[in-house]
Amino acid sequence: MGPVLGIVSLILLLMQLLLVARVVLDWSVALAGPSAPGSIRSRLSAGARAVTEPILAPVRRFLPPLRLGTVSIDLAFIVVFIAIVVIRQLIS
């Protein structure tokens, strides 16, 4: 693998980690309640959203969340995460 593909793979890995961090932080709201403004969890959550939303938003336009009663499943997140895994496998 060349240096360019190595850098691309590293960037994709970082994006995967940020997506996982976003899920954990979003679920922490459901488990621990909303975070106080300015808290570490609030700032980390805002940062993860700021980085991942530009990638997820275009996919959400074509693939809106799946509603199951009061629960909503973000299909865009699943598609983007799987796409990153597949791309990383193809370039390695």
- Which pLDDT tens digit goes with each residue over 46-62? 999 999 999 999 999 99
Q: Would you list the domain boundaries of the chain? A: 3-91
Predicted structure pTM score: 0.86
Q: Which residues contact 60 (CB under 8 A, 6 or more apart)?
A: 74, 76
Q: What was the pLDDT predicted at 30?
A: 80
Which DSSP helix (H) or strand (E) runs through 57? helix 40-62
Question: Which tens digits make up the pLDDT trace of 59-92?
Answer: 999 998 889 888 888 899 999 999 999 999 999 7
Which tens digits make up the pLDDT trace of 1-38? 688 899 999 999 999 999 999 999 988 888 877 778 88
End-to-end CA distance of the chain: 6
